[in-house]
Amino acid sequence: MKEEMKENNGMNPDQIIENIGGCGRYQIRMSVIVHLIKTIVCFGFSNLIISTKTPSWYCIEGNVTNSFISCTNLVNKSDLTCRKEECNGWMNKTKCENIVFDSDLKTLSSEFNLICDIDYIPSTISSIQITGVLVGNVISGQLADLFGRKPPFFASILIILVTHVTGYFSTTWQMFAVSTFFAGLGGGFFLTTQYCLLSEFTVAKWRAWVVGFPSWPIEGCLFALCAWLLHDWRNFQLLTAVMAVPCLFTWWIIPESFRWYIAHDKPEKAKVIINNIAKYNRQHEFNSDEVLQKEGKTEDKKYTFLHLFKSGFLVRVTMLLMLNWLALGVVSYGIAFGIQTLSGNIYLNLFLFSITGIPTKGIAIWLQNKFGRRVSALICFIVVAVGGLTVGVVQTLDLPNKDELTNIFALIANAGISTAWGPVQTMTIELYPTVVRNIGFGTLSLAGRIGAIVGPQLVYLNTYFRGLLFYVCGGIAVLCVIGTIFLPETKDSDLNDKIKTDTQTTP
């Protein structure tokens, strides 16, 4: 296969990477920096799990100090009516003299009284953010394949910084919702470009590591700790903005993808980056002039979304992977925002759901390199199906230890879906050629974000139709198991750089 993938430039990019140190000091440094930058994206998404929660509240009628404690102490006093979380048909706060929220957690709901007839707003804000991610996926995928990976990657950091500062100073929930949309846009830019950027500097055996390293669950655990210490949704916004500032200075450390330059017939620019990598990896004998000998100038062709359907192979890959990505969005965000409805402390629940992703992602890396990307994805979706459908049954029936069973099997489903991201993302990167890799990744991320928009709404509907969220999660996982069987295996495959026809070899 390696011989088939050689271009007119001489040695193919995977062979070049091997000759400049494989996964050497340069690639390790670059991967560490990118995964650290991902912290601001994780915080930007995770904060809404806490920020949109509705704390315990009381409607107070009568003369009483506006305090949650005084309300609980005076609940039986004859001069006071104190109703806990009961709307009783009144429209928001117009028929209640005082609304008192639990002071242990300050959220959007408690600051702007988003309860009763407008209790749908918090989940809608979450969906607005994911809509921003969706738009970011589409735009950045096209930009990254037209102009390179680096511009949209760093645009994401700048957008996240500005929008979280705006979110901190929001005076209405509408203003915050707008800032959240653009925060999602920045997150979409980052998530679409980061994995392609890293993967294009590594060979097959290391791609599962750079894609599947459990940085997101580690950062989720860190956010749970920070949220527990800060208690205020505005502080979450400020913290994320402050962390984004030093990330901008990595512009001088993270390079453009040399592979993108080669695929777009710009060998001279590729040589500069390749030589820098070789020098940093202490491969001083490497000579880029010998392996990047261009035989003639060709037109730098522009690629679009339509090229994802250029061959029967690409059509099949795109449609089947789209189902997997849709499931990733629905299940991941459905379960994540479903944490609000689980019994127990929300900070501890968020921490537990995050920490389960650390060992499972490590297992996924081993599975991918041992048995392949497809088998790993199949195992993950089977776990999600079992966990999700079990929780649906438990929530529907009146069973003993219902809360404990719900938490346990929801954790199992969460472990399955958090693990599935690795093999699905790795397959996506390895199945698309360089010239449309970011377009493909962005397009499939679009399907994931559509699912992510649906996820929080399923959480809201689950309060009226018990078990709905998890029946949907389990059902879509079953469909993914069936679809993944028909995807090709990509383990140990070199990356393609040009689009091949159906008569040519595919992974």
Distance of alpha carbon 144 from alpha carbon 432, whole angstroms: 14
Nearest residue to 314 (alpha-carbon basis) of 298, 329, 303, 326: 303
pLDDT of residue 336: 76
4, 7, 13, 18 alpha-carbon torsion, rounded to 10°: 60
pLDDT of residue 293: 57
Neighbouring C-beta atoms of residue 301, cutoff 10 Å: 12
Neighbouring C-beta atoms of residue 294, cutoff 10 Å: 15
pLDDT of residue 52: 83
Total-model pTM: 0.74
Please, what is the end-to-end C-alpha distance for the chain in angstroms?
9
pLDDT of residue 403: 76
Residue where the block lists tokens 């219902």: 402
pLDDT of residue 157: 95
pLDDT mean values, one per 10 residues, the chain (507 residues): 41 79 85 94 89 77 48 43 53 57 79 79 85 86 84 94 94 92 92 84 81 86 90 91 95 90 84 88 71 52 76 88 91 77 74 82 85 92 92 81 81 86 87 81 82 79 82 92 92 74 49
pLDDT of residue 379: 93
Neighbouring C-beta atoms of residue 36, cutoff 10 Å: 15
Distances (CA, A) of 158 to 153, 186, 380: 9, 8, 35
Question: Helix, strand, coil % (nearest 5) of the chain?
Answer: 70, 5, 30
HSE-CB at 476 with a 13 A cutoff on CA atoms is: 24
SS3 labels along 441-475: HHHHHHHHHHHHHHHHHHHHHHCCCCCHHHHHHHH
Distance of alpha carbon 443 from alpha carbon 234, whole angstroms: 33
Distances (CA, A) of 193 to 152, 205, 245, 252, 256: 7, 20, 19, 17, 11
Which amino acid is residue 386, in one-letter code? V
> What does the block give as tokens for 270?
């590729």
Residue spans per domain, the chain: 13-53+121-287+301-484, 57-103
pLDDT of residue 296: 45
13-53+121-287+301-484, which class in CATH?
mainly alpha
